[in-house]
Chain A
Amino acid sequence: MRSWRTVILLFIFIGFLLLLQFFKPEGLNLQGQRAIVIFILCLTLWITNIIPLAITSLLAIVLLPLLGVMETHTAFSLFGNRAVFFILGAFILAAALMKSGLSTRLALFFLTRIKKTPQSLLLSVLLASAFLAFWMPEHAVAALMFPIILEIARSLKLKPRESSYGKALFLSLAWGAVIGGVATFLGGARNPLAIGMLWEEYRIKIGFLEWMIAVVPIVLVMLFFACAVIRIFFKIDIEDVTMAENTLKEKLNQLGKMGREEKAVGLIMLVTIICWMTLGNKIGLANIAILSAISLFVFDIVQWKEIEEYVNWGVILMYGGAIALGFALDHSQAAEWLAQEALSPFKLTPFVFIIIIAFVAIFLTEGISNVAAVAILLPLGFALGESYNLSPVIMVYAIAVPAGLAFSLPMGTPPNAICYAAGYYRISDAVKAGIFLNIISWIIFLLMTRIYWPLIGLKL
């Protein structure tokens, strides 16, 4: 495996050098040529994941000034993009939610609310995961829900790989987290990345509430269909879930009363969300996020060491690098050139273009990280969208939302990988039902862009 890695890296490096030497198309300046070569290199590394995603971004930041695409100070200043700091603040808040145990309490609270039948238990797992993913990263939701769902499966004596209900239970968790993750800026950092790129290219903002108004109705429809797909593909082979209900109640009782830390984190989170919704456009989402993160330390709710244990700082490198690469493609006119080259043989309507780009995003994200999918597609999407007179805001939604909807393969997104690791379903189970849900989600998304978005002023 190690030797294969070396060979692949060598091929990529030789390919990069060859492209630098021979990729000199007419009508594209030197900066644009080099920006495209760096983009191809990063795209290859992001797709193969042969080096960590964040390190590929770091490589982009270094190569852009080294090859004369942009000034060093410009490249490095893009690490200071507001989206990067918003993500940082959001990750610190999510860490506090997890560390205080409030997220687990919320999950158990939701799971114990509904009167339990096998069907309603599946629904409550789907909805609880989705709701939590509105407010914290979807993979964090999957990680915190995983032990709970495992205990439910054990209490119901579901046999791994054999029990159809076991398959449905874990897919409800994965799909709930994935669908919920597209609803706000907090579920998946690809959404803030997309709005960060929008700001750098066009100086246009999308507010927290504005995003939710555009996307939450789509999420609700998708949740309904996800539930239906689970019911169609996996028959309920148990009759009673009393044991699961007892396990959940026992776990909730074990948590005891809400402590000071949980109350304080809950209050800060609530105030933060209200501020994002009401004051986000005025004082900035990132400022609110960072102020809230600071307040966690001021009120002595978390310690720095604890936050360090919960947040992987590679997040700053990944997003800073991706934004810099998008910026370079646009400002070197490389994206515009690529759009012209890609479009010259076709004459599409704007809606057909949205159909295609959403399809590419939804299936690309099955194979690669959804952040990488946004980083790859959005710079091209902006340039292509301009050719169709499509607003860049529409392009952000049309790429970032489908790029979050990976349902089939474990490598698509961490929630899928985590749930697959439980061993209750085979990849083939997830692929059969997941591709069906991919297609349904794609259709729902497109229908909503036609029917619902014009009602809120988003016209194609």
Chain B
Amino acid sequence: MKTILLALSTIRQSPKTINYALKKAKKEKARLVILFIVDSDLPHLILDKMMDVGFMGDKPSLQLYQSILKEYKERGKKITEEISQEAKSLGVEWSTLIAEGEFTKECLKVIEKEKPEKIILTRAERSCLSRFLFGSAVNNLKQKSPSPITIVEEE
């Protein structure tokens, strides 16, 4: 049975991509692996900012960091549950995974383990200049992934 990986993260998710992945899995009678990565980069940045710029101590900075991360995890759990429900109603076989860390790294770990035939990702609309200057995790994954990647641009 074919495997399709739908890779989402806290900052990379869109209903359009989810619908596309569900339809594709149904059409190709593939198993859908729903991966949600809790982006820890942004909370880390906030932690640094609180300590370096705001001069707050460890405790309030860490409390804030944990509070943000907890929220991200809950959102990840909720979204994977919603997609699972959809997959069930469409008769698509599915499994869910929630990871925490850097998007490219976590995706590659799952790709190595699950060996999907196709990977579906979403990407926010950004200028080429912005992608060149600040980098793009999606482009980075595209270069490193052994499986073909379909990018659904976020609306």
Which chain B residues (46-74) contact chain A, with CB distance < 8 Å? Answer: 46, 49-61, 63-64, 67-68, 71-72
Residue B42 is within 8 A (CB to CB) of chain A in the complex: yes
* CB of A371 to closest CB in B, whole Å: 8
Question: CB-CB < 8 A to B59: which residues of A?
Answer: 309-310
Evaluate contact between B52 and A49: CB separation under 8 angstroms: yes
Residue A147 is within 8 A (CB to CB) of chain B in the complex: yes
Question: CB-CB < 8 A to A49: which residues of B?
Answer: 52-53
Residue A311 is within 8 A (CB to CB) of chain B in the complex: yes
* CB of A229 to closest CB in B, whole Å: 24
Bound-complex Cα distance A413 to B56 (A): 13
Bound-complex Cα distance A144 to B63 (A): 9
Evaluate contact between B57 and A312: CB separation under 8 angstroms: yes
Evaluate contact between B49 and A53: CB separation under 8 angstroms: no
Question: CB-CB < 8 A to B51: which residues of A?
Answer: 312, 314
Residue of A with least CB distance to B62: A309
Evaluate contact between A421 and B43: CB separation under 8 angstroms: yes
Known: A150-B67, A421-B43, A423-B10. A311 touches B52 (CB 8 A): no
Number of A-B contacts (CB under 8 A): 83
Residue A160 is within 8 A (CB to CB) of chain B in the complex: yes
Segment from A15-23, A68-76, A135-143, A244-252 that makes contact with B? A135-143
Interface centre among B57, B59, B68, B72, by most chain A C-beta atoms within 10 angstroms, is B57
Residue A91 is within 8 A (CB to CB) of chain B in the complex: yes
Evaluate contact between A417 and B60: CB separation under 8 angstroms: no
Evaluate contact between A418 and B64: CB separation under 8 angstroms: yes
Residue B142 is within 8 A (CB to CB) of chain A in the complex: no
* CB of A424 to closest CB in B, whole Å: 10
Residue of B with least CB distance to A189: B55
Which chain A residues (108-165) contact chain B, with CB distance < 8 Å? Answer: 137, 139-140, 143-144, 146-147, 150, 160
Question: CB-CB < 8 A to B10: which residues of A?
Answer: 423
Evaluate contact between B57 and A95: CB separation under 8 angstroms: yes
Question: CB-CB < 8 A to A160: which residues of B?
Answer: 75
Bound-complex Cα distance A96 to B80 (A): 41
Evaluate contact between B57 and A309: CB separation under 8 angstroms: yes
Interface centre among B56, B61, B72, by most chain A C-beta atoms within 10 angstroms, is B56
Task: Categorize the interface residue count of chain A.
Answer: 35 or more
Evaluate contact between B57 and A143: CB separation under 8 angstroms: no
Known: A147-B67, A421-B46, A423-B11. A54 touches B52 (CB 8 A): yes
Residue B151 is within 8 A (CB to CB) of chain A in the complex: no
Residue B137 is within 8 A (CB to CB) of chain A in the complex: no
Residue B45 is within 8 A (CB to CB) of chain A in the complex: yes
Bound-complex Cα distance A411 to B57 (A): 19
Evaluate contact between B53 and A143: CB separation under 8 angstroms: no
Bound-complex Cα distance A378 to B38 (A): 42
Bound-complex Cα distance A53 to B42 (A): 20
* CB of B142 to closest CB in A, whole Å: 19
* CB of A47 to closest CB in B, whole Å: 13
Bound-complex Cα distance A312 to B60 (A): 10
Known: A310-B59, A310-B60. A52 touches B52 (CB 8 A): yes
Residue of B with least CB distance to A150: B71
Residue A308 is within 8 A (CB to CB) of chain B in the complex: yes
Evaluate contact between A312 and B71: CB separation under 8 angstroms: no
Out of A91, A146, A311, name the residue touching B67 (CB < 8 Å).
A146
Out of B42, B50, B67, B71, name the residue touching A139 (CB < 8 Å).
B50
Bound-complex Cα distance A369 to B52 (A): 10
Bound-complex Cα distance A416 to B71 (A): 18
Interface centre among B11, B45, B54, B75, by most chain A C-beta atoms within 10 angstroms, is B54
Evaluate contact between B49 and A417: CB separation under 8 angstroms: yes
Evaluate contact between A146 and B64: CB separation under 8 angstroms: yes
**Known contacts A54-B52, A311-B55, then 16 further A-B pairs from the complex at CB < 8 Å, ordered by chain A residue:** A49-B52, A54-B55, A95-B57, A139-B50, A140-B56, A140-B60, A143-B64, A147-B67, A310-B57, A413-B53, A414-B54, A417-B46, A418-B46, A421-B45, A423-B71, A423-B75
- Mind listing 25 A-B residue pairs with CB under 8 Å? A49-B52, A52-B52, A54-B55, A91-B55, A98-B60, A137-B56, A139-B53, A140-B54, A140-B56, A143-B60, A146-B64, A146-B67, A146-B68, A147-B67, A307-B57, A309-B57, A310-B59, A311-B56, A311-B57, A315-B55, A411-B49, A414-B54, A418-B50, A423-B10, A423-B11
7 pairs of A and B residues whose beta carbons are closest in the complex: A139-B54, A309-B59, A315-B55, A310-B57, A312-B55, A414-B54, A369-B53
